[in-house]
Amino acid sequence: MRAVVHTRYGPPEVLGLAEREKPALTEDGLLVRVRAASINAMDWYFLTGIPYPARMMSGLLRPARDIPGVDFAGTVEAVGASVTRFRPGDEVFGGARGTLAEYVTVAERRVARKPAGVTFEQAAAVPVAGLTALQGLRDKGQVRAGQDVLVNGASGGVGTFAVQIAKALGARVTAVCRTDKVEVARSIGADDVVDFTRDDFTRSGRRYDVLFDVAGSRSWSECRRVLKPEAIWILAGGPRTNPWTGPVAHLVGTLLASAGRRPKVTAFMAKLDARDLGVLGGLLESGKVTPVIDHCYPLGEAAAAFRHFGAGHPQGKIVVSL
């Protein structure tokens, strides 16, 4: 099979196309013909090896796995003996290791059915970003109808899902983004949009029940000005410019500054879960959530897709189509 590979850390130019053996089917797994995949911050860290602590998971000196990618959508080719929910021909989406390839094997518990009216490219944009937004808002933020939710970093992959999922949960949503993304934020349902290049959202005088923070652009002392005493601040990302710490410095600094104080601050990593993928599939099918895709590249241009991501500020998700 054709696959995007890299045998060393570096910029997108280290990526190339190569032939690899089709992955072996496991007893509890599915062999899926990949039709589309998408790029997340995790993929960028594992490609570049920066921030350096990411190498604890991806390999200290060189990548432990040479095919990048986690998100995917595709068609089931074969199923393991213990698989009960799927059969060959089913269209699915989910998360696995090494999805920038023609085939991938994935455990049944990390896959859901793709809604019929959703393209493979749209479905591939969902898993990591969509689960981050869903689990952050529903589980960590406990968002309820009628609450006021502020999404800082509302125009990227996670942020565009967060705006729509918060609306689906019945919240009033204020989106914070840059000038060229204002119309996108409005188009996906934000009730109010703050252009951070012109206005300081931390001095707006408004108060919010939940801050879903993808950008990590403001400090604890600044953001607490716009949060109600019982508010919840969800840390879902941060600046990745520091090669030693990446977003971790902002996450840890905010947690330390807020320790024992209000509002409550929480950080988390999304879990790939078939049930929650099914919830997202229902939101897609109902039209309450529509993935925002910045650009779609063919497999042979995966390096260009990563360059686009690394340049910063994509509008929604960057997808690779097979």
Query: What per-residue confidence (pLDDT) applies to 223?
Result: 86
What is the reported pTM?
0.94
Q: Verify that 172 and 298 share a domain, yes or no.
A: no
How open is the CA angle 167-156-97, to the nearest 5 degrees? 105
Query: Can you give the pLDDT at residue 219?
Result: 82
- Tell me how many domains the chain contains: 2
Identify whether 278 is part of a domain: no
DSSP string, 96-162: -S--SBSEEEEEGGGEEEPPTTS-HHHHHTSHHHHHHHHIIIIIIS---TT-EEEEESTTBHHHHHH
What confidence score (pLDDT) does residue 257 get? 62
Query: What is the per-residue pLDDT for 242?
Result: 60
The CATH code of the domain that includes 215 is: 3.40.50.720
My answer on whether 133 and 121 are in the same domain is no
Whether 118 and 145 map to the same domain: the answer is no
Which residue has tokens 């689906």?
168
Rounded average pLDDT per 10-residue block, the chain, 322 residues:
95 96 95 98 87 69 87 98 96 97 97 97 98 97 97 96 98 96 96 95 93 88 91 83 61 67 85 96 98 97 96 92 96
Instruction: Give me the domain span that covers residue 34.
Output: 2-126+291-321
In a domain, residue 158? The reply is yes
Decide if 280 is inside a domain: no
Kindly list the distances between the CA atom of residue 222 and the CA atoms of 38, 203, 217, 266, in Å, as whole numbers in the listed order.
Answer: 34, 8, 10, 17
51 preceded by a cis bond (ω within 30 of 0)? yes
Q: Are residue 144 and residue 248 in the same domain, yes or no?
A: yes
Q: What pLDDT sits at residue 99?
A: 98
